[in-house]
Structure 1
Amino acid sequence: MAFDINKFKNLENKTDQYERQIARIKGDGKDISCIEKAVNEAERNLNDGINSFIIYGDPQSGKTEMMIALTAKLLDKGNKIIVVLINDNVGLLEQNLRRFSKSGLDTDPKNYKEILDDVYQIKDYKWVIFCKKNASDLNKLIKKIGKFEKIIIDDEADYASPNGKINKDEVTKINQLVGELLGGVGKTGRYIGVTSTPARLDLNNTFENANNKWVYFPSHKFYTGQDDFFPANLNNGNLKYQLEFLPEQYDLPQYIREALFRFMINVAHLNLFENSEEKYYSMIIHTSGKTSDQFRDHDDVVSAIDILKDENRFEKYVKRIHEIASSKYGDNKADNITEYILQNKNRNAILVINHKKDKENLEKASDPKSLFTIAIGGNIISRGVTFDNLLSMYFTRTVKTKLQQDTYIQRARMFGSRGQYLKYFELTIPEQLYKDWHRCFVFHRLALDSVKSGNPPVWPEDRRTRVAARASIDKTTVQMDSGEMSYEIFDLTKEIENVFSSGIVPLEKMKRLRSELGDNKLPLHLINFISYFSPDGPNSLAIHQPRTIEGYKDADKNNISRKKGLIGDGDLEKIKYPHAIHHIKVFFNTDKKARIFYKFVGISGTKFLKNFKK
């Protein structure tokens, strides 16, 4: 048979990469439905000409696998260059690059440094290129591929990519360079940001992302996250894990030591009485962003383990371990657990991770190679790193002013696939910090609930929490409502008046009003906020009878507004509604045009931020 070169042409034009990735993920026993949903919606956005949008999901919910599948889909659709941007962290870059390479993608992903040599010609070939969000790295990559069409997948997109000087008519360096790499949204580049905390991207208008076209990446069925660690109702006492509150004066070595002992006890119990084979586990200690504090914590842990090695000094510590083991798992198991710890005390790794170049320690901590692995650090371990077999977290890092919601949501490193051992997981934390952290998550979910309903997000904050850094919030398009809020004008029909006068419970009354009026006149995010923050149940909400605006001399009767606000103290009817912290009242004019007004009197300083960009 004669040789025919045509048989061997166009073999690279495969269109089954996505299906092969889905089969691989499914073969690993993982849930594929969440990945398929996100990838299909992202594909729909691109087909509809949405050239800049965000994919958001929960922390440590499997976004890397989703990005691999998304990359495969983009290659199948004929896109030639996919750039994956990673935080400026060598260890994180290598961790992600390794996972992409092991997936079997065709073409094999490259570190940007590999393609800089002139011998590599970009041409019309397919490329998957990884690059850190570092000015030097981005400049080099721009010179190599800047003129070519590309899709950027920006992992942890709210980190470094937004313009932190947006209100100064200046541009931060990474924002500028990522913009240059894009070459203009919809011109030579398309942008897909991926993150758990998209607030800053919205309020910053980063790369003109369409906040009404964001894609939700749902958590897989094995995920443990906000509902498990920060349940909406903290009063039912049914936590699925072990929560240890620290006293107000918690900055003493004994509290880290006690948490260390409890971690070792839980490891021992799992390996002695639960696991079919021995497993290695890790503990995170996060007390500060200062290197000196992290080395102090390191020394406290080393000192405790050193004493366990010395039989002349270890009686006090061994007795304490035995007491804790007995109280947690019973007298009949305490001896075995204590013996296991003493027999295996040398099988430890105490790792400080406080620098971008600590990649070896980062790898050892994220995939434990020692029975008792203790990771001590701050910012480096707080974003983008997945910790397998994480069993304990000692977290005391707080701030003097307000907790920034996006920062603290990223610090929830305990989220992930913890289901098999969740009831043995321990979080050690000061009580007030836990409550503030809990509020960050409640506010975050309220905002994202509005996105899921097809609306742009509305971001709540209060006197103890802040949505995002103020310098990143675009003041030209973002409005901040505090105290009294109002919504779009509507016709006050007899049917609407009947709903107000009906005897149904207040929250159901609001839902019925919304079904009649629509989201612009009574937003879903407001109903969600009220339902979350109702400490006295139905009595927390007062829906007052409609009132004419005609008695207000300084009101704009056509616009149904007043500079000083319309809901006064008398309108709150405090005698009738003594427990109400949420107040709803309608004001109307002589033409029966009306607005709904809302006032919150529960937590001082509560505000709602919304981007009103066109």
Structure 2
Amino acid sequence: MTTIPTEMHLNLNGTFYKGLDKKNGYSNETKACIENTVRNLLQNDTSLSRPGMLLGKIQSGKTRTFIGVTALAFDNGYDVAIVLTKGTKALAQQTYERLKMEFEDFKQDDILQIFDIMSLPDNLTNYELEQKIILVVKKEKNNLNRLKKALFETYPSLASKKVLIIDDEADYASIGFSKTKSEIYEIKVIAGQIDDIRQNLEQCDVLQVTATPYSLYLQPDSIELRGFVFKPIKPAFTELVPVPKEYIGGDYYFRESQEENTIAYYIYEPISPEGLIVLKKQDPRRFKIEEVLTSNKVYSLRTAVMNFIVGGVIRRIQSQKAGERPKKYSFIIHTEQKKQAHEWQEEVVIEIKRQLSVIVDENPELLTDLIKESYDNLKKSLLLLECDVPEFQKVKYEVIQAIRKDHIMITKVNSEKDVNELLDDTGQLKLRVPLNIFIGGQILDRGVTIGNLIGFYYGRSPKTFQQDTVLQHSRMFGYRPIQDLAVTRFYTTEEIYDVMRKIHEFDSALRAAIENGNDNGVVFIQKDESNKIIPCSPNKILMSKVTTLKPLKRLLPIGFQIASNTHISRTVQEIDRMVDSIVKGLDPVLIDLKDAVTIIEKIYETFDPNEGERWDVKAFISSMEYLASNIPTQNIDKVWCIVRKNRDIGRIRPQSGRYEDSPDTPSGKNSELTVAREVAFENPVLILTRQKGSQEKGWKGIPFWWPVLVTPRKTPTVVFTSEVQD
């Protein structure tokens, strides 16, 4: 983070900042962020190519913070604030309504005017033009043309004033990662229009606001030089929006969710890839819609819908008992971009609802079973919260009432027109009934706030995942009451979940690098065909092929299955002999990198390529090579190796049904992971555990080796990819 000179004097007692602070009660951390941002804007020559950066997390309070920045900027010499929003009416309206609400008192006092650029009158008086002015502008060519005309033709006096351009969702108008030719052309046009306006203003500063800054920070071309660390082109300064402890984001969904006996542990529900295929289009050969309540083909979707209904009912019962007004709840189904798929999914969910209303009277036993399955699922996390858990019969009764009284609404949203018709007065999606199910694609991603979200059924293909896009799909991030979290479930495939976890790690690594003042940014490396490890341009990275390396991280295969006895017994014996020849006893031993690579290649041969999850062995080996080759000369190309035998760990965790991910003993004075973390100072550590592979533990009844790579304590923040886009 940029160091702020203390001698810069700011007016912290001005009308606008003092008024908003009194209204909102900013925390000390938020105040520091706002004040540092304005101080930096005053001291740095910011532009579109060298902007200030306000970096937050998704739905974590970025808007609240940049509104505070706007107020303090007005008290310190700025006259006009131009807020650029993503090019959708939903976000523009949401932003406009929020700004209008925050600055309402100042508008009433005739010291500020606020307009959507498309509704800006052409007859403003000097009395109005002398006030502070906020203009909300969509990043869309007609809006930007209207802004240009207003500044330089209709009201040229504004062009001579001190202007602050706030570019919200800044990465939207930046070229980064993979985009279509039409998207790139549109982005270039919009960016060109913004820059043209900025250059013709007499005094202008630019502040970009985003939670996904990758296309802004990560601009350099490929530099093919082994071991070279390049510095990404970065904004003039960066301020991190503080994240309160109440915020629920990637840490909760992808880190805490791995910890048993926590509420977060129950939030993720794996779904099968086949379950997503059924939802692509209607195909009676694959799935008959009349079997929607009994077919295994839609088991995960049916379960998700029932969990949402039961969860929403439980929360409403709890609220009523506590004397609170019951809330309305929402659930999102987002698996495809195509409208045809949305129509089919709507048809399926409507049929689920219809058949539920039928079996209330005609097959109450089936309805009871469906409700009980969801109740038992949600009860696990509710009991951990130690809150009031309604009795099953009470929940069953209220679920039946919700079905009979039509408290469940299914809404397809696959165009901006659909969204606009569904917005409330604040620009948020309106929840019209107690239980609201929204089905759609990208239109539900960015800028659309959906309140009280307790279910998210996600299935976008990881082959098309890009860092900035995927994080914005995560509408389940934000401020969530702990009681809501106890009934919240996130549904996706193991593969997609793993990709999202990698993206979270990348996001955390970048934020940590900025927070720690790491001027080197994040290093990107790739493995090329000539077997060299080189930095690469980040806009070539496919996030599904990314591995983030940071200090003392574990890398290991998860969810794999070993091949049959006849195929691997000889290979396992070869590994046994090789390991025994280079590692004696339990103490860690430095071995040659080439030997470690050979062992890993042999281990990979023992895995079944047609069963279980695929192991990216290329990333594992290349990461090990990178870590072992970028160290002082005396131990270069060496890897610590720790060997443990006679282990008998299962493939699946019995309580959760998830894949086992801890073949190494994690704790204890002499555990291999504890020892590894002690010796992993400069060289990586390879832990090799020989497993019995028992059939009763989910394996094939033959021993095998399970490797774990532990990164060194001195590992720089690295994002590694074994494959890049063309």
TM-score (norm 2): 0.61
Contact 1:353 1:380 in 2 (8 A): yes
Contact 1:459 1:467 in 2 (8 A): no
Instruction: Work out the CA distance in 2 between the residues paired with 1:372 and 1:312.
Output: 21
Aligned to 2:138: 132
Deviation of the 1:96 alpha carbon: 1.5
Stretch deviating more after TM superposition (265-274 or 116-125): 116-125
Out of 332, 339, 342, which is 1:291 matched to? 339
Aligned to 1:423: 486
RMSD over aligned CA atoms reads 4.2
* Residues 141-161 of structure 1: CA deviation (Å, up to 9, x unaligned): 112115444211111000124
Aligned to 2:637: 572
Aligned to 2:552: 531
Report the AA paired with residue 337 of structure 1: V
Contact 2:165 2:207 in 1 (8 A): yes
Inter-CA distance 313–294: structure 2 relative to 1 (3 Å threshold): farther
Structure 2: gaps (5+ residues): 1-12, 107-111, 153-158, 221-231, 279-297, 381-388, 528-535, 558-585, 593-628, 644-671, 685-712
Instruction: Work out the CA distance in 2 between the residues paired with 1:65 and 1:543.
Output: 53
* Residues 516-563 of structure 1: CA deviation (Å, up to 9, x unaligned): xxxxxxxxx97xx12334669xx9x99999xxxxxxxxxxxxxxxxxx
Out of 392, 395, 403, which is 1:337 matched to? 395
Deviation of the 1:163 alpha carbon: 7.7
Aligned to 1:190: 205
Matched position secondary structure for 2:273: coil
Percent identity, please: 22
Aligned to 1:406: 468
Out of 286, 289, 314, which is 1:269 matched to? 314
Out of 245, 255, 261, which is 1:231 matched to? 255
**What pairs up with 1:530-569 in 2 under 5 angstroms?**
530-533=551-554
Deviation of the 1:413 alpha carbon: 0.9
Aligned to 2:117: 112
Inter-CA distance 601–394: structure 2 relative to 1 (3 Å threshold): closer
Instruction: Work out the CA distance in 2 between the residues paired with 1:22 and 1:385.
Output: 26
Aligned to 1:348: 408
Inter-CA distance 429–165: structure 2 relative to 1 (3 Å threshold): closer
Aligned to 2:41: 46
Aligned to 1:246: 271
**What pairs up with 1:174-573 in 2 under 5 angstroms?**
174-183=190-199, 188-204=203-219, 210-211=234-235, 213-231=237-255, 234=258, 236=260, 238-240=262-264, 241-251=266-276, 252=278, 253-275=298-320, 276=322, 277=324, 278-310=326-358, 311=360, 315=364, 318-328=367-377, 329=379, 333-345=391-403, 346-357=406-417, 358-363=419-424, 366-400=429-463, 403-420=465-482, 421-456=484-519, 457-458=521-522, 469-470=539-540, 529-533=550-554, 571-573=636-638
* 2:188 matches 1:172: yes
Aligned to 2:173: 160
Inter-CA distance 432–202: structure 2 relative to 1 (3 Å threshold): same
Contact 2:84 2:167 in 1 (8 A): yes
Report the AA paired with residue 226 of structure 1: G
Aligned to 2:164: 151
Deviation of the 1:164 alpha carbon: 8.5
Contact 2:177 2:215 in 1 (8 A): no
Deviation of the 1:108 alpha carbon: 3.9
Matched position secondary structure for 1:158: helix
Aligned to 1:562: none
Matched position secondary structure for 1:194: strand
Deviation of the 1:65 alpha carbon: 1.4
Inter-CA distance 317–35: structure 2 relative to 1 (3 Å threshold): farther
Report the AA paired with residue 159 of structure 1: Y
Matched position secondary structure for 1:352: strand
Contact 1:406 1:468 in 2 (8 A): no
Aligned to 2:560: none
Instruction: Work out the CA distance in 2 between the residues paired with 1:218 and 1:125.
Output: 31
Instruction: Work out the CA distance in 2 between the residues paired with 1:165 and 1:235.
Output: 35
Inter-CA distance 155–64: structure 2 relative to 1 (3 Å threshold): same
Contact 1:101 1:109 in 2 (8 A): yes
Contact 1:404 1:467 in 2 (8 A): no
Inter-CA distance 576–256: structure 2 relative to 1 (3 Å threshold): closer
Structure 1: gaps (5+ residues): 1-13, 473-481, 484-524, 546-564, 587-595, 608-614
Matched position secondary structure for 1:302: helix
Inter-CA distance 120–410: structure 2 relative to 1 (3 Å threshold): farther
Instruction: Work out the CA distance in 1 between the residues paired with 2:637 and 2:369.
Output: 56
Deviation of the 1:135 alpha carbon: 0.9
TM-score (norm 1): 0.72
Instruction: Work out the CA distance in 2 between the residues paired with 1:406 and 1:99.
Output: 24
Inter-CA distance 431–300: structure 2 relative to 1 (3 Å threshold): same
Report the AA paired with residue 530 of structure 1: P
Instruction: Work out the CA distance in 2 between the residues paired with 1:55 and 1:212.
Output: 11
Contact 1:308 1:314 in 2 (8 A): no
Inter-CA distance 576–104: structure 2 relative to 1 (3 Å threshold): closer
Residue correspondences, number: 502
